[in-house]
Amino acid sequence: MKLSTKIILPIILISALLILLAGCLVTPSDEEPGYTPGTITGIIAAPCCTTSAEPVSETSGSPEYWCYYCQETWSLQDGVEVVLTYGEDEVATTTTNDKGEFTFTDVSPGKNYVITAYCPD
């Protein structure tokens, strides 16, 4: 039994087309690419913690003199509470280490966060 090319060629082409399109016909899995959470790190360089209860005003000179006490006593950076907020929601809270460093992990990307530092009592 001899098959003609009129029969074999369409069978080969249809088979090749089905193999190529097999990837398009598969049902997608439930796994989504998702997002990669980010990290926010920083250093509280001049935490403006003073022994005075008076708030610093903009009329009291240039900013480099506002935190003179803290610049001389860097240990005040340790234990500063740092709060990460988005809008009115508090996202995370951490405390600085002895070098004034802080880190927030698992932070959703693409948002405008506000970081607020509170000096210890």
**Which of 1-5, 86-90, 114-118 is predicted least confidently?**
1-5
Element holding 16 (H helix, E strand): helix 5-21
Average pLDDT estimate for 6-17: 83
Domains annotated on the chain, with CATH: 37-118 (2.60.40)
Q: What is the DSSP string of 49-84?
A: --S--SPP-TTSS-HHHHTHHHHH-GGGGTT-EEEE
pLDDT digits 0-9 by tens, 22-68: 766 666 666 666 678 899 998 876 645 555 555 555 555 555 555 55
Give the count of beta carbons closer than 10 Å to the beta carbon of residue 62: 7
When pLDDT is cut at 50, 70 and 90, the band that residue 120 belongs to is confident
For the record, the structure tokens of 27 come out as 């049902």
Average pLDDT estimate for 73-80: 66
To the nearest whole number, what is the mean pLDDT of the chain?
75
**pLDDT of residue 118 exceeding 80:** yes
